[in-house]
Structure 1
Amino acid sequence: MSEHHQPNSQLLWAAGLIALMGSLALILGNVIGSIVVPGHDWVADTVSDLAAGRYEIIQDVALYGYAGALFACAIGAAHHHKDGTRWNLGIGCLAILTVCVVVIGARNEYGDNDSEGIVIHIYVVYALGVLFAALFFLMARGMANIGIWYARFSYGCAILWVIGAPVFFIMPTGYDGIYERGLGVLTVAWVTVFAWMLISIARGKLDAEISAQRSSDVF
């Protein structure tokens, strides 16, 4: 990689930090919403139930924060390119996932039996299922170029997602809330690890720059 195309450590730091903050926002929004919304049962009621009604702003902000996390990962991945077509497709998945999460947050057609106009929520959910599975698989090989355990983690997420995500649609309504949250935790875990990977790359580059500067000062 030429000097001109060396990754910018500050950009990678920012992308990783934003991704971590966005993931934290999703978790906090869910926890706070579950406490604030009257009568909410986090085992039986889905996250969608938190995003409709009087306190919908809590979950909406959490979703927008997570969309920011996905977009930050896309920027970081585009800046520090570690694979060929697969990596490009993974970046595309991150970008489309960002749009999907924003659409879910912006359109209040869940949790309140809304059926007016064009209801697209279920189709967006299907898209999330396919895109996350593709993302985990596509990015794994490139992540191996940074650290083999990153790749193993991504492949593990892919396997768990492919097996677990379809089960959500046949889960009894008395337990689909907690199951959905488990799937959400899986995606947050992947984004968190990817964010930490970007930060680790930035730290390594900074250390190299400091060492090079010290060497130049000596000579």
Structure 2
Amino acid sequence: MQIDDHQPDKHLLNAAAWIAGIGTLCLLLGNVVGSIVVPDHDWVADTVSDLAAGRYEIIQDVALYGYAASLIACAIAAAHLHLDGTRWNVGIACLALLAMCVVVIGARNEYGDNDSEGIVIHIYVVYFLGLLFAVLFLTMARGLSGIARRYGVISYCCAALWIVGAPIFFLLPTEYDGAFERGLGVITMVWVASFSWMLISVARDADHIRAQEI
């Protein structure tokens, strides 16, 4: 395991890992519950955005805000650890910007209900989000490999799947784009879950190092 000279704070890392894990679970549960509660929702044909508009929008909105919190927690922990140079800094910036994008998507109800009033930015935020995830997976992979090779492999695999899959989403017919979009969401959740487990492992190792020093 390779980290900077400073001793990592296990409490901060564990807290960030738990927040990231709970936020990711919120996204998953919000999607499942919303798909069940929202009338006539077809999870294969209808996208997640359709759940975030209308009478039951609060379910998906809370899920999105929870996921934004998980991304912020990852950014804070990543800044604390700083496992790589400029590439890692770019990854931290991506995490922060991704959290902002998710909040904007949840706060602006201009999807699902065919809203076209004022400036409609949803599609542009989605494009930006797609780019940020790709950059995140690629730039943080090398630093994660310094902790354990498996974390870097997971990040590179997520990058490959995302770079191939994200453009395909915009080309799919609406009869299937809902299921495909959820598949892309799973990729991001796998990465966050892996990052969270990495934080827990670093916190545990830091605790062992302190015990040996004593």
1:134-153 paired onto structure 2 within 5 Å: 134-153=135-154
Secondary structure of 1:41 counterpart: coil
Residue number in structure 2 paired with 1:42 = 43
Find the aligned partners of 1:207 and 1:45 in 2 and give their Cα distance.
48
Could you report, residue by residue, the CA deviation over 1:14-48 in whole angstroms, capped at 9, with x for unpaired residues? 01110000000000000000000011010110000
RMSD across aligned C-alpha pairs, in angstroms?
0.8
Residue number in structure 2 paired with 1:30 = 31
User: What is the TM-score of this pair, normalised by structure 1?
Assistant: 0.95
Residue 162 of structure 1: CA displacement?
A: 0.5
Aligned residue type for 2:92: I
Secondary structure of 2:19 counterpart: helix
1:43-58 paired onto structure 2 within 5 Å: 43-58=44-59
Residue 207 of structure 1: CA displacement?
A: 1.9
Residue 212 of structure 1: CA displacement?
A: 2.7
> Which structure is larger by alpha-carbon Rg, 1 or 2?
1
Find the aligned partners of 2:23 and 2:212 in 1 and give their Cα distance.
32
Find the aligned partners of 1:148 and 1:189 in 2 and give their Cα distance.
16
Residue pair 2:7, 2:206 contacting (<8 A) in 1 also:
no
Find the aligned partners of 1:22 and 1:197 in 2 and give their Cα distance.
16
Residue 82 of structure 1: CA displacement?
A: 0.6
Does 2:51 align with 1:16? no
Unaligned runs of 5+ in 1: 214-219
Residue number in structure 2 paired with 1:196 = 197
User: What is the TM-score of this pair, normalised by structure 2?
Assistant: 0.97
Residue number in structure 1 paired with 2:129 = 128
Find the aligned partners of 1:58 and 1:203 in 2 and give their Cα distance.
35
Unaligned runs of 5+ in 2: none
Identify which range, 48-57 or 199-208, moves more after superposition.
199-208
1:1-219 paired onto structure 2 within 5 Å: 1-2=4-5, 5-213=6-214
